[in-house]
Every structure is written in structure tokens, then in C-alpha cells.
Amino acid sequence: MSIELSSSLLSHLRARHVPLYPLDKENHPQFWPDPELMLSEALHKREQDGENRLELTDRQKWWMQPENAEKLQWAKDNGYATEAMVRVIHADSDTPHLNQLLEQFTDTYGNFGETKASYFFIDPDDSDNYGWHVDTDIKSPTIPRGIMCAMNVVLTDINIPVEFQNQGEFTYRAAMFNTDWLHRVHTNKKLRVLARIAFTDSIYEEIVHKIKRIHKKANK
């Protein structure tokens, strides 16, 4: 599946979609397992694996290079996230509820190419660093593509909103999430844990379009 889209087509698609599509609305099937069971599993798995698991992207490694110190300082001064400690624990044989999440999402909406399921942690002490950022940029030839978009299920306080630049704040239990749009989360010094499916072959607009068609057909 191609992800090479012109800038004009991307602008057209974005004009039709906000950067977050809730999946917990009325008449949408619940494909996710019990959030309390997933949270318990996530915290137990993290305790088993240790507290210092940190997943670094190539972009974060770039920030750490001394020659980029001036750009790093500019990013800090302008409120962009550069050093937020985001911990990720990937699905394996010890995460049956997380595996179930991926299986049930795929059964409900189909196959979108390569995916990875994980638990995603923002610690209370790191919440102030989690400012404006994108997880990838599909238009940039210099930023590694990695994750195209994600499906998030919030396992902790669902009243803490995510804010997208020029779009405002959103709260949700489960939603498709456009990681290519500038966003931030202030957790108010609370632990935030997500169950997450990351997509590397399909972009947000493609997946949301298919989900909407499935919902429309199912609710006729």
C-alpha cells in the first residue's frame, strides 16, 4: 500500500478529518478488552521488566548529538518535547490482553499491514516534558517514517485531554490518533498508560476512511 501522497492531497484529506477519530462512540463495536485488566497487565509487565525501559527513536538520538545543542535549546524554549521519557513495553507471550486487543481490532476492521502492539507509559515526573511534538512526519524526507499513526486505548484517567495544535483538546477511551499532527498531553503529574497499536504501512486517513465505511455498513 503506497503512502506517497502529494501535499495538495494531504491538505484535502486533513480538511475532512480532525486528527483524532473516537472509536468509543455509540454504535461503534467495543473491540478492546477490559481497560482495568489491561492496566493491571501493563503495570505487572513493567514491574517484571524493570523501570528503565526507554524506547529511543532516531529523531531523539539526533537531539542528543552535541552539535545539535543550539536547535535543542530552541525547541525547549518554544515548548517542543525533546526529552520526555516515554517508556514502551511491546506485546509478547506475557501480554495476553494486549495480544487480544490487536487480534480483535484486526477482526473488526481488517489488516492494515505491519502493526505493533505495546503498552505506552508517561510517568508523572516526565509529564512536564511532554510538550508539542509529532511522532513522525510523512512529508519529510529527513525524518524516519517509523510509525504512521496509532490506535490508542487510554487505560488511566480518560478525563485528561490530548491537545492538537489548531484543533483544541480531546478526551477519549479509544481512538485512532494522527501522530503526524502536532500534539501534547499535560498529565497533571499523573501516570498515563495507553494500550497502543502502531501502524507502519498505512496512514491515519486511510484507516479512518475504512473504519467509517465499516461503521456505516454495519449501522444500516
CB-count exposure of residue 14 (10 Å: 0-12, 13-18, 19+): middle
Query: Which triple of cell numbers denotes residue 77?
Result: 524554549
Q: Are 42 and 119 in contact (CB under 8 A)?
A: yes
Q: Are 147 and 179 in contact (CB under 8 A)?
A: yes
Query: Sign (positive/negative) of CA torsion 40, 45, 48, 51?
Result: negative
pTM: 0.79
Q: Are 105 and 151 in contact (CB under 8 A)?
A: yes
Residue 80, helix vs strand vs coil:
strand
Q: Are 112 and 195 in contact (CB under 8 A)?
A: no
Instruction: From first to last of the 220 residues of the chain, give the pLDDT tens digit.
Output: 334 444 544 444 444 568 999 999 887 889 999 999 999 999 999 988 865 444 444 455 555 666 656 655 555 555 555 555 678 889 999 999 999 999 999 999 999 999 999 999 988 877 666 777 777 654 544 444 568 899 999 999 999 999 998 899 999 999 999 988 888 888 888 999 999 999 999 999 999 999 999 988 888 7
